[in-house]
Amino acid sequence: MEITEVRIKLMEDNNERLLAFCSITFDDAFVIRDLKIIEGAKGSFVAMPSRKLTDRCQQCGCKNHLRARYCNQCGQKLDEDRATRDADGRAKLHADIAHPINSACREVVQSAIIKAYQEERERSKQPGYVSSYDDMDDGPESYSNLIGDLNATKRAHSDGYRAHGAHSSRGAHSMRQPSEHESPAPVASREDDPTGQFGAGIL
pTM of the model: 0.57
Number of Cβ atoms within 10 Å of the Cβ of 118: 12
**What is the SS3 assignment for 38?**
strand
Amino acid identity of residue 167, one-letter, is H
Distance of alpha carbon 33 from alpha carbon 132, whole angstroms: 13
Q: How many Å apart are CA 202 and CA 199, to the nearest integer? A: 6
Residue 106 DSSP SS3: helix
Residue 140's pLDDT is 41
Which pLDDT tens digit goes with each residue over 25-73?
A: 999 999 999 999 999 888 899 999 999 899 999 889 999 988 899 999 9
Strands 43-47, 50-52: pairing kind: unpaired
Tens-place pLDDT, residues 3-22: 999 999 998 876 678 999 99
Q: For residue 80, give the DSSP letter.
A: T
DSSP states of 119-151: HHHHHHTSTT---HHHHHT-HHHHHHHHHHHHH
Residue 143 phi, psi dihedral angles, 5° rounding: -70, -40
Contact residues for 86 (Cβ-Cβ < 8 A; gap 6+) = 92
Four-residue CA torsion sign, 108, 111, 113, 119:
negative
Give me the amino acid identity at 134: D
